[in-house]
Structure 1
Amino acid sequence: MPMIDELLAAGTPPIVAILRGIQPDEAVPVAASLIDAGIRMIEVPLNSPEPLKSIAAMQAGFGETALIGAGTVLTVDAVNAVAETGARLIVAPNVDPPVIARAVESGLEAMPGCMTPTEAFAALSAGAKQLKLFPAAALGTGHLKAMCEVLPKSVGIWAVGGVDETNASAWLGAGAAGVAAGGSLYRPGRSAEEIGRIARRLVTALSRS
């Protein structure tokens, strides 16, 4: 089961798909469309309907070649519940050291959300190696560049919030390790085929950066 560094080293596009609101019966076809388009990192926020069912279904179908996991992970109990599905990715909108530490202890990839260097270093102290700059659109690429200047070069910073095919490459150019796309990629009611088309455009946009 690959982790972020392994996927990036293999040339996987640095994109996490955020499937907020997905229903369990959509999970497998939507994941298949994303993976076919080249996106191999997928999160289901825990405020989606029956998120653990969706995560478990995607993990069972694609966990050997894709990194599947949960977003909006706010508690240690939630980390444990995600780990029980076999999924490996834990994404949060905030820095909660016990949540990060539990994810790392469980062998999961932790990507906590931060806005400031203070939050970023607190996340690193708790064991995170990947950080989610959130909300990226409100902060701008200049903010990301400033963060990159003070953080260790080994740390991956992912731009999340307001990312789409028109600006994703600008985030990579500013120093982001990758991006995450939510509403610009998946919304409840979109077909798996439409999601696949949007995903391909996003992958193509990043390949030109």
Structure 2
Amino acid sequence: MFKTDIENRIIKAGVMAIVRVENVERCQEIAEGCLEGGIDVLEISYTLPNAGDVIKFLNEKFGDKLLIGAGTVLDGLTARLAILSGAKFIIAPNFSREVVHVCNRYQIPYAPGCATVTEMTEVLEAGASFIKAFPISNFYGPSLVSVIKTPLPHMPILASGGINLDNLSTWIKNGVDCVGIGGLLTKGSRQEIALNAEKIRKIIDTTRSM
């Protein structure tokens, strides 16, 4: 899979589930619920000691049905280990030149956390595929996207934090490329996750078609 194919699949999905659970069986349940509801992109957080094992397991179990990436990747070594485990994209709360070099070497999309327009432009110049609006999405809400995209309409934005069923359509209307959602897509039974995923999928598709 080429880097541009991965980027396009992330944008097409418009949402990724942020997964922080240590048990692979629970990860499988979450993945199945997401797929049933129409969401096929998952970020596995490296706050977990076995994140690499989870990524490898999900890739072996679901193959191309899921696009699995690694989150909270703070350094180049972790990025390389995540890629070896099968991560198709790398996300972080911070920017690391070490990480962007590894990702660009292996043609893996990288989305580092940024809080200012200066940071955003600098990470794109360094080779990042997306900017992660973090933690500022929690504070500014959906208006953040239109504020950034008015002077920088081609800025690829992934927002994480403060996104829910009530404000998701506004995020999409304002031009966010993808959102990261945790609790709605990782808590409860497989059926509950599937129901939430279906609601999220419907909101994104309906809003985009307007």
Q: Please report the TM-score for the alignment, with normalisation by the length of structure 2.
A: 0.88
1:104–1:35 CA distance, 2 compared to 1 (3 A) = farther
The CA deviation string for residues 86-109 of structure 1, in whole angstroms up to 9 with x for no partner, is 221101011222212211211212
8 Å Cα contact 1:63-1:87 kept in structure 2:
no
Q: Please report the TM-score for the alignment, with normalisation by the length of structure 1.
A: 0.88
Which residue matches 2:139? 138
The CA distance in 2 between the partners of 1:138 and 1:124, in whole Å, is: 23
Which residue matches 1:125? 125
Which residue matches 2:60? 60
8 Å Cα contact 1:98-1:126 kept in structure 2:
no
Structure 1: any 5+ residue segments left out of the alignment?
none
The CA distance in 1 between the partners of 2:49 and 2:167, in whole Å, is: 30
For residue 29 of structure 1, report the CA deviation from its aligned partner: 2.7
The CA distance in 2 between the partners of 1:183 and 1:204, in whole Å, is: 18
1:206 maps to 2:204: yes
Which residue matches 2:183? 183
The CA deviation string for residues 11-69 of structure 1, in whole angstroms up to 9 with x for no partner, is x4311110123422222232122122111110011112511111111112234233201
AA at the equivalent of 2:141:
G
Which residue matches 1:151? 152
The CA distance in 1 between the partners of 2:168 and 2:49, in whole Å, is: 28
The CA distance in 1 between the partners of 2:206 and 2:123, in whole Å, is: 31
AA at the equivalent of 2:7:
I
Which residue matches 1:103? 103
The CA distance in 2 between the partners of 1:21 and 1:115, in whole Å, is: 27
Greater fraction helix: 2
Q: Which moved more, 1:54-63 or 1:115-124?
A: 54-63
Q: Which moved more, 1:77-86 or 1:198-207?
A: 198-207
AA at the equivalent of 1:138:
F
Which residue matches 2:7? 4
The CA distance in 2 between the partners of 1:7 and 1:175, in whole Å, is: 14
Q: How many residues align?
A: 203
* Secondary structure, counterpart of 2:44 in structure 1: strand
The CA deviation string for residues 145-182 of structure 1, in whole angstroms up to 9 with x for no partner, is 221123351x3201210112111111111121121101
For residue 203 of structure 1, report the CA deviation from its aligned partner: 1.1
The CA distance in 2 between the partners of 1:93 and 1:7, in whole Å, is: 18
